[in-house]
């Protein structure tokens, strides 16, 4: 596999073709095209943030200053110098500890916008018009709703108190993607009736609208909602009804993305592709492939994607989260995906990353869930900083509001707090969400013209 030994899941990988560099005498194995900023990110989130704030300077062995955009060479030795001669300790990066608890983030270390507190930055991001292009319906329920629906239908739950249930559903102990997905058995158990599905879609839109999400693409697999023999068309009609009600009441626009499941048979994906095509221009905007990635290659489902592309329907595929760039390659070249869900390990394939950049293929980044599933070690290790700096089209999304205990606002705040994104850069991430939406061109241009001035104004410091 192209990535070599990923150890704890961070960016520092050891394999043939990597360069060994040192930051304050701490060794790091980096890819051949890495820049100084990348080495600092591996070393410590505080290091890069300190340089950005002007509190630290990077120098080489001779003591000469080195720029953040300088190219890394084999054996390079970099040193951090501050006004008091102190340097951040290796391993003190922000982000998540080994428990993968997104609530245990520590203090902000990447104060990218001098003079603004974390609360002020949060308020600005909250007020920005935003998108959520990668959010799962069955991963974004309110705990109180789960309890009420379970009581109505006689379903047993791990906890019957909404607060306790919310704590249980919030994933802190996953060893991998499969562990993270295990919680979905609880949510799907209460999603087998039309009224429940409609309510859940409505409430998701309401929650998103409360943080000024203007456009959202909600994904789910209808086949998982048929345990009580609900007809497949009704599994689509029900959420659409909830979304229409939310649009009328809260002014939020939303569309559906139908998902095939990697570990199901290919003919199931073809049936779901047919369903996607049947609802083209009726609320469904794309077809996706979700579920366990490792050992379940996308190319097994290529005929389903051939069908949707032949019908001029959009395609996005979960790839590069639990498997390397080969998974992304299959999503693009076997299945013809127009966007990639996650793409976390794209950096392991430099030629493919260049292709994705050249063809402006958007990446749907989900910071918190990537830490929870151990796709990355912590927030500071996430490659979204690299992708953004290299000009790739990236947006930030929630993935699963319940299991990840997150919002679109929190995802962008974490990029500011742990990855050194400035508010101006946050504005670009937010705008990338609108630019990457599966909307018709004229609709997208009109929406961008409406939201961009407001986003730019809120980003200005």
Residue, of 26 and 439, whose pLDDT is higher: 439
Taking only Cα atoms into account, the Rg of the chain, rounded to an integer number of angstroms, comes to 22
pLDDT digits (tens, 9 = 90+) for 140-165: 999 999 999 999 999 999 999 999 99
pLDDT (0 to 100) of residue 183: 87
Distance CA(276)–CA(269), nearest Å, equals 10
Query: Is pLDDT at 177 greater than 50 in this prediction?
Result: yes
Residue 103 pLDDT grade (very low, low, confident, very high; cuts 50, 70, 90) = low
Distance CA(119)–CA(129), nearest Å, equals 18
Query: Is pLDDT at 429 greater than 80 in this prediction?
Result: yes
Query: Is pLDDT at 265 greater than 50 in this prediction?
Result: yes
Is there a contact between 385 and 416 (Cβ–Cβ < 8 Å)? Answer: no
Distance CA(27)–CA(366), nearest Å, equals 29
pLDDT (0 to 100) of residue 121: 97
The one catalytic residue among 217, 321, 411, 425: 321
Residue 297 pLDDT grade (very low, low, confident, very high; cuts 50, 70, 90) = very high
Per-residue HEC secondary structure of the chain comes to: CCCCECCCCCCCCECCCCEEEEECCEEEEECCCCEHHHHHHHHCHHHHHHHHHCCEEEECCCCCECCCCCECCCCCEEEEEECCCCCCCCCCCCCCCCCCCCCCCCCCCCCCCCCCCHHHHHHHHHHCCEEEEEEEHHHCCCHHHHHHHHHHHCCCCCCCCHHHHHHHHCCCCCCCHHHHHCCHHHHHHCCCCHHHHHHHHHHHHHHHHCCCEEEEEEEECHHHHCCCCCCHHHHHHHHHHHHHHHHHHHCCEEEEEEEEECCCCHHHHHHHHHHHHHCECCCEEEEEEECCCCCCCHHHHHHHHHHHHHCCCEEEEEECCCCCHHHHHHHHHCCCCCEEEECCCHHHCHHHHHHHHHCCCCEEECHHHHHHCCCCCCHHHCCHHHHHHCCCCEEECCECCCCCCCCHHHHHHHHHHHHCCCHHHHHHHHHHHHHCCCCCHHHHHHHHHHHHHHHHHHHCC
The angle at the Cα of 53, spanning 52 to 55, to the nearest 5 degrees, equals 110
Enumerate the β-bridge partners of residue 448.
none
pLDDT (0 to 100) of residue 97: 38
Considering only 138-142, 180-184, 241-245, which range has the smallest mean pLDDT? 180-184
Show Cβ contacts of residue 210 under 8 Å, excluding neighbours closer than 6 positions: none
Q: What are the CB-based long-range contacts (under 8 Å, 24+) for 328-333? A: 328/352, 328/356, 330/297, 330/298, 330/299, 331/289, 331/298, 332/356, 332/361
Average pLDDT over residues 352-368: 97
Average pLDDT over residues 158-178: 89
pLDDT (0 to 100) of residue 50: 77
pLDDT (0 to 100) of residue 458: 97
Query: Is pLDDT at 386 greater than 80 in this prediction?
Result: yes
Q: What are the CB-based long-range contacts (under 8 Å, 24+) for 438-447? A: 438/133, 438/217, 438/255, 438/257, 438/285, 438/286, 438/314, 438/316, 438/338, 438/339, 439/215, 439/255, 439/285, 447/214, 447/215
Domain ranges of the chain: 1-93, 119-459
Query: Is pLDDT at 364 greater than 80 in this prediction?
Result: yes
Q: What percent of the chain has pLDDT over 90?
A: 71
Reading the block at residue 235, the tokens are 């599994």
On average, the pLDDT of the chain sits at 88
CATH 3.40.50.880 is right for the domain spanning 119-459? no
Distance CA(304)–CA(284), nearest Å, equals 16
Burial group, residue 54, by CB count within 10 angstroms (0-12, 13-18, 19+): exposed
Active-site residue 118, yes or no?
Answer: no
Residue 55 pLDDT grade (very low, low, confident, very high; cuts 50, 70, 90) = confident
Reading the block at residue 302, the tokens are 């290529």
Query: Is pLDDT at 322 greater than 90 in this prediction?
Result: no
Residue with tokens 């990639």: 340
**What number of residues does the chain have?**
461
pLDDT (0 to 100) of residue 105: 57
pLDDT digits (tens, 9 = 90+) for 16-37: 456 788 898 888 877 666 778 7
Q: Which of 45, 120, 129 lies closest to 89 in space, CA to CA?
A: 45
Reading the block at residue 142, the tokens are 């309110």
For the chain, the first-to-last Cα distance in angstroms comes to: 44
Q: What is the assigned CATH class of domain 1-93?
A: alpha beta
pLDDT (0 to 100) of residue 390: 95
pLDDT digits (tens, 9 = 90+) for 66-97: 888 777 888 889 999 884 334 333 333 333 33
């Amino acid at each position: 596999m192209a990535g070599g030994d990923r150890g704890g899941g961070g960016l520092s990988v050891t394999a043939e073709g990597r360069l060994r560099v040192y930051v304050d005498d701490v060794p790091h194995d980096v890819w051949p095209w890495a820049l100084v900023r990348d080495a600092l990110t591996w070393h410590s989130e505080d290091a890069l943030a300190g340089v950005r704030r002007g509190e630290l300077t990077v120098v080489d062995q001779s003591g000469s200053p080195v720029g953040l955009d300088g190219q890394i060479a084999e054996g390079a030795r970099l040193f951090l110098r501050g006004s008091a001669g102190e340097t951040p300790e290796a391993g003190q990066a922000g982000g998540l500890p080994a428990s993968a608890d997104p609530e245990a983030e520590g203090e902000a270390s990447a104060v990218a916008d001098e003079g603004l507190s974390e609360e002020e930055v949060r308020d600005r991001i909250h007020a920005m018009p935003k998108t959520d292009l990668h959010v799962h319906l069955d991963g974004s329920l309110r705990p109180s709703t789960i309890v009420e629906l379970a009581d109505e239908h006689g379903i047993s739950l791990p906890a019957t108190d909404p607060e306790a249930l919310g704590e249980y559903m919030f994933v802190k102990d996953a060893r991998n993607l499969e562990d993270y997905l295990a919680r979905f058995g609880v949510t799907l158990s209460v999603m087998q009736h039309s009224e429940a599905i409609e309510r859940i879609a409505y409430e998701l839109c309401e929650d998103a609208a409360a943080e000024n999400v203007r456009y959202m693409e909600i994904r789910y697999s209808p086949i998982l909602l048929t345990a009580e023999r609900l007809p497949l068309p009704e599994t689509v009609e029900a959420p659409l009804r909830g979304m229409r009600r939310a649009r009328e009441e809260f002014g939020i626009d939303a569309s559906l993305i139908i998902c095939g499941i990697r570990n199901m048979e290919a003919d199931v994906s073809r049936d779901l592709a047919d369903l996607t095509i049947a609802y083209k221009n009726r609320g469904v905007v794309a077809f996706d492939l979700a579920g366990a990635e490792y050992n379940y290659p996308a190319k097994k489902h290529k005929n389903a994607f051939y069908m949707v592309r032949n019908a001029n329907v959009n395609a996005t595929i979960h790839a590069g989260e639990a498997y390397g760039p080969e998974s992304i390659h299959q999503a693009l070249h076997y299945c013809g995906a127009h966007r990639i869900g996650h793409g976390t390990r794209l950096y392991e394939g430099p030629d493919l990353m260049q292709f994705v950049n050249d063809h402006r293929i958007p990446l749907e980044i989900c910071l918190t869930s990537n830490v929870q599933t151990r796709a990355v070690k912590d927030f500071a290790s996430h490659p979204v900083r690299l992708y953004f700096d290299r000009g790739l089209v990236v947006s930030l999304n929630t993935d699963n509001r319940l299991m990840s205990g997150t919002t679109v606002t929190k995802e962008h705040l974490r990029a500011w707090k742990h990855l050194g994104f400035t508010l101006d850069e946050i504005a670009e991430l937010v705008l990338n969400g609108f630019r990457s939406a599966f909307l018709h061109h004229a609709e997208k241009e009109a929406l961008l013209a409406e939201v961009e001035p407001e986003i730019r104004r809120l980003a200005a410091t």
